[in-house]
Amino acid sequence: MDEYPKSVELKDGSMVNLRIMTDDDLDDMISFFQSIPDEDRLYLRSDTRNPDNVRRRFGNLNYDNMFPILAIAEDEIIGIATLFRAEFGWMRNLGEIRVVIANKYQRKGLATILIRELFFHALSKKLYKIQAELMDTQASAMAAVERLGFHKEATLHKHVTDVRGVRRDLVIMSLDVEELWYLMEDHIKTRDFRIH
């Protein structure tokens, strides 16, 4: 966590700051999620227009089981990437990633940058595997994780229902990171490793 905050460059040349979320960011997170357009809300797991849902998810942060990285531009949150992991139990070495990007900053490489940051954090925590759960209609998100080495683990047919009530297939994408632990030891700090 000592490497944050940091600046990254997007495909269009614009600069974005990345930093770890703190409890002081909660009100700004509520504003960010309320600004998400309806078409992007289709893929969220809870109704983020309700501030209580955001408070339940991101209040009282515990970085051991939830590691959220914020993307900031012009002093506003424009994206969040979170690595979730169980603190105890049989899935404690599995991490799940979730990424939400403001519409204006989509398709500029920000999601790929944020997922890469979560990947390196997963490596530092010695997780065995990280996964992303996506609806079958999230083609650009699937392409982003595939570029980072994720593969399709399973498709669960008609397994989820979007906010409009339409049943969708759930696609589970995963990346086995255990075999990369030792290979990556010299590169974790410098970030010069490319998964592909």
Please indicate whether residue 99 or residue 91 has the higher confidence score (pLDDT): 99
**Any idea how long the chain is?**
196
Q: DSSP label at 103? A: G
Q: pTM of the prediction?
A: 0.85
Residue 2: predicted pLDDT? 80
- The answer to whether the CB of 85 falls within 8 A of the CB of 123 is no
Q: Which of 103, 164, 112, 153 is nearest to 130 (CA)?
A: 153
Residue 173: predicted pLDDT? 95
Residue 195's pLDDT band, with cuts at 50, 70 and 90, is very low
Q: Which of 35, 61, 39, 59 is nearest to 48 (CA)?
A: 35
Report d(CA 160, CA 123) in Å as an integer.
Answer: 30
Classify the C-alpha dihedral 178-182-185-190 as positive or negative.
Answer: negative
137-190, pLDDT tens digit by residue? 888 888 888 988 899 999 999 998 887 888 999 999 999 887 666 555 555 445
Tokens standing for residue 75: 């002093």
4-43, pLDDT tens digit by residue? 999 999 999 999 999 999 999 999 999 999 999 888 887 7
Classify the C-alpha dihedral 152-154-158-160 as positive or negative.
Answer: negative
Sort 155 into a burial class: Cβ within 10 Å, 0-12 / 13-18 / 19+. Answer: exposed
Domains, the chain, ordered by start: 6-132 (3.40.630.30)
